[in-house]
Amino acid sequence: MGLLDGKKGIVTGGGSGLGRANSLGLAAEGAEIAVADLRLETAQKTASDIVAAGGKAVAIQVDVSKGDEVQTLVDKAAESLGRIDLLVNCAGILPKTPLIDMSEEEWRRVMDINMTSMFFTCRAVARQIIAQGSGGKMVNFASGRGVSGMENASHYSASKGAIIAFTAAIGMELGHHGINVNAVCPGAADTPMMRSATDDASVEFLSNAPYNRRLVKPEDIVGSVLFLLTDLSKEYYGQTLFMKAT
């Protein structure tokens, strides 16, 4: 008996980091997962690990920054799983570049992948859920950096701040259709993205936070996502759950 028995969900960025942990965590609670990632082989690895653990999953390649590819993802997932109840948006990137050196191209790439992707996925999945007449749940990964800012990552910070505002707006809009959309800000977790953007001294610092004295693991985030995907959060619309102080 899992918390998500019979539910069907899409997890973007499911090939690594938080997306992988959420795919595994949701499947362990009984959900069938469409694991979406730009790198198909990483999505396939997550899906095969789910199947090996007794769960159900399919891997789907997608560039979430492209509207037509996202539509194809949602169509394929709905066909394969039979319906869509859940969406967890983890796909994102974090290049480190000072503002004065940042190219317009890099700025746009981060916005497209981190932010516009959520517009595409939330829109497509909302249409699907409304057509089903079923209600559903969406969780968008934002970041405390969207509030506090992050040095040499002005594009990332801006994209994550935008996700918080976007989620607040569609939380109200989609609430009318019985869909709960909320955002989560996980704080620094030990993922490939965090490692690539963080120097050793900062990792050491994060590993010695005075209150828990350890680096948060990706699987530690799953509890908050489960809260946002279950009936426990049924009166929760467009809110942002901060797991760490910003």
- Distance of alpha carbon 166 from alpha carbon 201, whole angstroms: 34
User: Would you count residue 233 as binding another protein (CB under 8 A)?
Assistant: yes
Least distance between another protein and beta carbon 52 (Å): 25
Least distance between another protein and beta carbon 232 (Å): 3
Catalytic one among 156, 211, 236, 237?
156
Taking residues 181 to 220 in sequence order and writing x for each that binds another protein by CB under 8 A, - otherwise, the string is ------x----------------------xxxx--x---x
Least distance between another protein and beta carbon 223 (Å): 3
Q: Of residues 29, 103, 168, 183, which one binds another protein by CB under 8 A?
A: 168
Of residues 131 and 169, the one with the C-beta less far from another protein: 169
Q: Of residues 44, 46, 114, 240, which one binds another protein by CB under 8 A?
A: 240
Q: At what angle do helices 154-175 and 117-132 cross, to 10 degrees?
A: 20
Least distance between another protein and beta carbon 243 (Å): 5
- Distance of alpha carbon 70 from alpha carbon 225, whole angstroms: 22
Q: Where are the beta strands (DSSP E) in 94-175?
A: 136-141
Q: Where are the beta strands (DSSP E) in the chain?
A: 8-12, 32-37, 57-61, 86-89, 136-141, 179-185, 240-242
Of residues 103 and 211, the one with the C-beta less far from another protein: 211
Of residues 77 and 183, the one with the C-beta less far from another protein: 183
Is residue 156 part of the annotated active site? The answer reads yes
Taking residues 120 to 159 in sequence order and writing x for each that binds another protein by CB under 8 A, - otherwise, the string is ----------------------------------------
**In one letter, which amino acid is 174?**
L
- Distance of alpha carbon 141 from alpha carbon 115, whole angstroms: 10
Q: Which of residues 80-99 bind another protein (CB under 8 A)?
A: none
Q: Please count the residues of this chain forming the interface with another protein, following the rule CB under 8 A.
A: 34
Beta bridge partners of 8: 32
- Distance of alpha carbon 131 from alpha carbon 236, whole angstroms: 22
Q: Of residues 175, 198, 203, 207, which one binds another protein by CB under 8 A?
A: 175
Active-site residues, by number, are 156
Chain residues in the site for another protein (CB under 8 A): 168, 171-173, 175-176, 187, 210-213, 216, 220-221, 223-224, 226-227, 230-245
